Amino acid sequence: MPDSGIVKYLVKLKFEVDGVVERADVIGAIFGQTEGLFGPEMNLNELQKSWKVGRIEINLESKNDRTRGEVIIPMSTDIGTAALIAAAVESVDKVGPCSARFNVGQIEDVRAVKRRQIVDRAKLIVRDWSSKTSSEGENLLKDVTESTKRAKVINYGLENLPAGPGVYSSDFVYLVEGRADVVLFLRAGIENVVAVEGTSVPDSIIELGKKKRLVAVLDGDRGGELIEKELAQVMKVEKVIHAPQGKEVEDLTPIDVINMLKAEKVDMPAVQRRQRAAPEAAAPQPHGAEEPDEPVVVKTRELYPSLNGTLEAVLLDQGLVEIGRFPISELVQKMEGTSGALYLIFDGIVTQRLVESAIRVGVKGIIGHRTGELGQVPEDVRIGTFRDLGLE
């Protein structure tokens, strides 16, 4: 039979012969003694010519002047014809000059076996899919959870002033009045903030003004005005922003803060969550966005319109040539299977797990929408956000 795929049944018979015989003897006995029993349409030769019976297999072994074995007849007929042929072969009583006995063992439904194999394979496919989907769902949930974690208030300077961890890593800092204002800025995702804690400007704030650009965000009352005058006498502040008349900064919502800064056109992006800061002397080097004049920044600005809102990631090689683009749900797996990647630009959240995977394949620059809770990041790996580049 040219294609075993058309076989429906396997007729299997056991036989025993009182003497030593060969395969050809058994085949001859089967064809010879069944020929003409039921007319030409049921003749094995004719059935083979019409591909209803396949090549008959004989397995035998001779021992102690006896031959035992098995006959396997593949058939593509209906079950009735298969049973009739099985009964006809079972009636063979001689092989050559030797007495023989044939007994039907079973008629195996090949399609049932195939169905079982298909069902078993389908179960494996569903199991693999379920496992993969569960794993991806857990990872996505972890990323979302990390993105919603707020940075904690830290202490800054000898006066232990309330501040956000970005006070160390950002090139500029927001000055606010008290701890409640710092907490509000952190809720808005702005971590480069420190409180002056009163109308007398602390020495740590004065020293900070010598190293960083400062923007003061003060209450819209008499107290805010007094702090503004005090700041003007002891240090340089690039800009002073007041809450609406009669309101304190802590009375605002995070959205109010963001909108207020936008309305005042503060051209200084908020530092997103970074590695937790230690005392200033041991402060980590910033993992910020690439410098504006670097080619990768130019490339990022070109890619941003086609990436924003797609939940996709792009890998770039050293020459800033795109070597891979795929959904962020497949990012870790695809990235680890790609060689030569130096930059990762993607429409998602930079998490510690992603950073670790990127480091393993040699990525040195990562730019995404936001950063999650990050632990240790090597000094030669730079991390930034689209907001850092002024794209959001």
Q: In terms of DSSP bridges, do strands 193-195 and 172-176 run parallel, antiparallel, or are they unpaired? A: parallel
Task: Report d(CA 156, CA 166) in Å as an integer.
Answer: 11
Q: Give the pLDDT confidence of 37-82 residue by residue, as tens digits.
A: 777 777 788 888 888 888 899 999 999 889 999 999 999 888 888 8
Average pLDDT over residues 250-259: 86
pLDDT at 351: 85
Strands (E), 64-126: 66-75, 94-95, 98-109
**What one-character-per-residue DSSP string does 42-56 give?**
G-HHHHHHTTSB-PP
* CATH for 154-282, options being 1.25.40.10, 3.30.2130.10, 3.40.1360.10, 3.30.70.1450: 3.40.1360.10
Residue that wins the pLDDT comparison between 15 and 310: 15
Query: How is the chain split into domains, by residue range?
Result: 4-112, 154-282, 295-385
Residue 246 predicted with pLDDT over 50: yes
Least confident among 262-276, 336-350, 370-384: 262-276
- Whole-model pTM: value is 0.37
Predicted local confidence at residue 176, as pLDDT: 94
Residue 163: its pLDDT value, please? 93
DSSP H/E element including 10: strand 9-17
Token pair 């503060």 is found at 266
> Cα separation of 98 and 238, whole Å?
114
Q: Give domain 295-385's CATH architecture.
A: 3-Layer(aba) Sandwich (3.40)
So what's the pLDDT on residue 266? 67
CATH architecture of 4-112: 2-Layer Sandwich (3.30)
pLDDT at 138: 60
DSSP-derived 3-state class of residue 151: coil
